[in-house]
Structure 1
Amino acid sequence: MTLTFPLRAGAVATGESDRAAILANPGFGKHFTDHMAVARWTVAEGWHDARIEPYGPLQIDPAAAVLHYAQEVFEGLKAYRHEDGSVWTFRPEANGERLQHSAQRLALPPLPVEDFLTSLRALVAADQAWVPAYGTGETSLYLRPFMYASEAFLGVRPSHEVTYAVIASPAGAYFSRGVTPVNLWVSTQYARAGAGGTGAAKCGGNYASSLAGQLEGIQNHCDQAVFLDSATHEYIEELGGMNLFLVYRDGRIVTPELTGSILPGVTRRSILELAAEMGLTPQERRIAIQEWKDGAASGEITEIFACGTAAVITPVGELRWEGGSCDHRPAGAGDEMGEVTARLRSMLLDIQYGRVEDTRGWMTRLV
């Protein structure tokens, strides 16, 4: 049965002046809107009890399975205000499909994509005043759907009760200092995911396992860590929460192939399609960390960037490792990004904010 998400009264709306102050400087993930979407699943009833209700703390039993066995998945996408006041989102069907795949990997019940889209529309309709105005820089309303095992029991088996929710947060730039090159640390002590594990699912455990490597990077004056494959520690996989692309002098643009331990990013997928239209040669293959180092030294690799929903496309400046480093900033560019990185970023943002015609059918109107 298709879900509907009726609005339940009771939310204390944020005052207009308070909301305006937040939207003027939202940061990222710091403030939340007045409502949230919620639905429940049980073995007996399937998905049911869907609604939009006031944003607030969830009631969760101390024995809830998620707290003990980490059975949960989530998604991330954005709502963009267009010049005519309408609100749109980017390729949400891909996020809905990935949520299904993640849920199946974590033994959670897949939510139908149509119900996923309905929950987004209902929440944004209730909180559309929180979507930043068109023309206010790279601002948006970040949407965070998630699903977790809410049954109270102690035992290693799939939960018989699951809660789905969507919360929303007005967002500015993901990195506090804006779009400037990030420095990366090659993590050889830690792996983000392994063969047969949950690397291709968007679950909290993957991000938790990346934090030790990220802290190691911070200790070495880097912003993020690059994780290698867990078997050989020779091949690039991804950052803690972003995919990677290497741009070569001969027009190739290469990203690590999906081996089952890398998250299939929606932004990653879109860049591969846009790159081909730009006349570049996109490739998905295994990339040795040594190839990265050698390519930087020879000039064969001209640009590096990371990508994801939150940060869109972020140029990579310096790569550091124990005993060495290499710099990828184009000569004389300072903190500016390379030509290919800048063009791809501009193409994506122009589509998302409605500044160019959406010829690919990637945008979905929410309000």
Structure 2
Amino acid sequence: MEAMVNNIRVEKAATSKIHDVDFDNLAFGSTYTDHMLVSDFVNGEWKEPKIVPYGPISLEPSAKIFHYGQSIFEGMKAYKDVEGGVWLFRPMENCKRLNKSAERLTIPELPESYFMDGLMALLQLEKDWVPKNPGSSLYIRPFMFASGSGFHASPADEYKFIIALAPSGAYFSGKVKVLIEEKYSRAANGGVGYAKAGGNYAGQFYPTQLAAEKGYQQVIWTDDNNHEFIEEAGAMNVFVRINDTLITAPTSDRILDGITRKSILDIAEDENIATEVRKISVHEVVEAAKNGTLKEMFGAGTAAVVSPIAGFGYKGMDYDLPVLAESYAEKLKKRITDIQYNRAEDKFGWRHQVV
């Protein structure tokens, strides 16, 4: 059965899976809604997106995604307030970053209207899939990849853009212990670290596995040259609080321009929290841990918003961070989530209503 939602053609699923879902016990990103948005790049242009039943994708074995890794993605969420309204958080930033990643991987940029209109239509169709439970949300995964075929090492001539949705429970990461990386690098100058390229994450898995074998939950990535400066925490941006100043690394070829990161910086300014965007050396962090001026470290990203760090390991030594009654991490997370769930004023204009 076909219909139209916001001028987007919809092929409706014959039956819905929603009644089989236990919304009180949702894992993160492993249950999927009835529909997905699809657009194909063929003959030199992106075709108008359409909504189809969620299901497998058929590709040739020679599709270039399998051979040369032209694949990018975004991570977003839709939130439901107590009155049933559905909201997005800074969605145009995701759209812009997707196209920034596309440019770096020689993938044709997607028209902003296809992204936003398609996303809005998909969410309006699937609004009942947005969980109501506190802390839960509908995870949104837009992604693009090379679907054109050929073994020649060159950009593909066809691509596919998809948005898939996954209702997810509250992301309780708890405090984690991290290992400051001394050998492996996440990204390099002139590379694709600033893009949300699938290969960036594939390359992280092995060093993270090695860290896990030593009892750590995540890796703090350092620069590719001398491993002298702290850059990211796992798949998140990282913040360090020394005394009462919050410090994070500047974005670069190596560091993702995180939407949560930039939101934290704006909210910190609004809260009169001193911030610095600068390089921060491992030596500075270790010395601050030794002399007691290191108050907090936390990761920042879409999934957990803020992920506090309980301690870190470096050169065979472990350093514990203090337990604070009123942490910046908790204050900043509350400010962001109150905006996302429509519980507080949005003086920044970040909230975007779906229904």
TM-score (norm 2): 0.95
> Which aligned pairs between 1:189-204 and structure 2 lie closer than 5 A?
189-204=183-198
Residue 169 (str. 1) matches residue 166 (str. 2): yes
Match of 1:356 in 2: 344
Determine if the alignment matches structure 1 residue 127 to structure 2 residue 126.
yes
Residue 34 of structure 1 is matched in structure 2 by 34
Which of 118, 140, 144 is the equivalent residue of 2:141?
A: 144
Count residues in correspondence. Answer: 350
Contact kept, 8 Å, 1:245 with 1:254, in 2: the verdict is: yes
- Correspondence for 1:154: 151
Distance 1:63 1:322, change over 3 A: same
Q: Is the 8 A contact 1:11 1:55 kept in 2?
A: no
Q: For residue 325 of structure 1, what is the aligned residue in structure 2?
A: 318
Task: Give the drift of 1:88.
Answer: 0.6
CA distance in 2, matches of 1:4, 1:304: 46
- Structure 1 stretches of 4+ moved >6 Å: none
Q: Which amino acid aligns with 1:31?
A: T
Counterpart residue identity of residue 354, structure 2:
L
Give the corresponding residue for 1:231: 225
1:47 aligned to 2:46?
yes
Distance 1:342 1:83 in 2: 22
Match of 1:246 among 240, 263, 274: 240
SS of the aligned residue for 2:10 comes to coil
Counterpart in the other structure of 1:264: 257
Which of 188, 202, 207 aligns to 1:208? It is: 202
The letter for the 2-side match of 1:320 is G
Does residue 10 of structure 1 match 2:7? no
1:89 is matched with which residue? 88
The DSSP-based 3-state class of the residue aligned with 1:247 is strand
Which residue pairs with 1:300 in the alignment? 293
For 1:326 and 1:9, the matched residues in 2 are separated by 54
- TM-fit CA distance, 1:330: 2.0
How far apart, in 2, do the equivalents of 1:362 and 1:201 lie? 22
SS of the aligned residue for 1:6 comes to strand
Q: Compute the displacement of 1:15 (Å).
A: 4.7
Q: Deviation string for 1:186-239 (max 9, x for gaps)?
A: 121210011100000001110011111110110111111111111111111102
- Matches of 1:172 and 1:10, distance apart in 2: 24
Amino acid at match of 2:8: F
The answer to whether the 8 Å contact 1:37/1:52 transfers is yes
- In structure 1, the gaps of 5 or more residues are none
**1:358–1:221 Cα change, 3 Å:** same
Deviation at 1:86, TM superposition (A): 1.4
CA distance in 1, matches of 2:164, 2:140: 6
Structure 1 pair 15/226, CA: closer, same or farther in 2 (3 Å)?
closer
Question: Matches of 2:18 and 2:168 in 1, distance apart?
Answer: 18
| Residue 179 of structure 1: how far off its partner (Å) | 4.4
Q: For residues 10 and 344 of structure 1, what CA distance do their matches in structure 2 show? A: 40
Aligned to 1:292, the other structure's residue is in SS state: helix
Q: Deviations over 1:294-334 (max 9, x none)?
A: 11111222111111001110110010123101111326x6x
Query: Is 1:285 equivalent to 2:278 in the alignment?
Result: yes
CA distance in 2, matches of 1:185, 1:315: 14
Whole-angstrom CA distance in 2 between matches of 1:179 and 1:64:
36
Structure 2 letter corresponding to 1:155:
H
| C-alpha distance in structure 1 between counterparts of 2:82 and 2:115, whole Å | 26
Q: Secondary structure at the match of 2:59?
A: coil
Measured in 2, the distance between the counterparts of 1:129 and 1:26 equals 15
Q: Is the 8 A contact 1:41 1:163 kept in 2?
A: yes
Partner deviation per Cα, 1:40-88 (whole Å, 9 max, x = no partner):
11243x1114110000001111100000000011000000001221111
Give the whole-Å Cα distance in 1 for the aligned partners of 2:13 and 2:336.
38
Counterpart check, 1:219 vs 2:205:
no
Provide the TM-score with structure 1 as the length reference: 0.92
The verdict on how the C-alpha distance between 1:158 and 1:129 changes in structure 2, with shifts beyond 3 A counting, is same
SS in structure 2 at match of 1:100: helix
Query: In the aligned structure 2, how far is the partner of 1:359 from the partner of 1:6?
Result: 35
Do 1:316 and 1:329's aligned partners in 2 also have CA atoms closer than 8 Å?
Answer: no
8 Å CA contact 2:130–2:167 kept in 1: the answer is: yes
Partner secondary structure for residue 9 of structure 2: coil
Equivalent pair of 1:11/1:34 in contact (CA under 8 Å): no
Do the aligned residues in 2 keep the contact of 1:11 with 1:35 (CA within 8 Å)? no
Between the aligned partners of 1:160 and 1:348, the Cα distance in structure 2 is: 40
Corresponding position of 2:177: 183
Change over 3 Å in CA distance of 1:15–1:236 after alignment to 2: closer
Contact 1:217–1:223 at 8 Å: present in 2 too?
yes
Once superposed, what is the RMSD of the aligned Cα atoms? 1.4
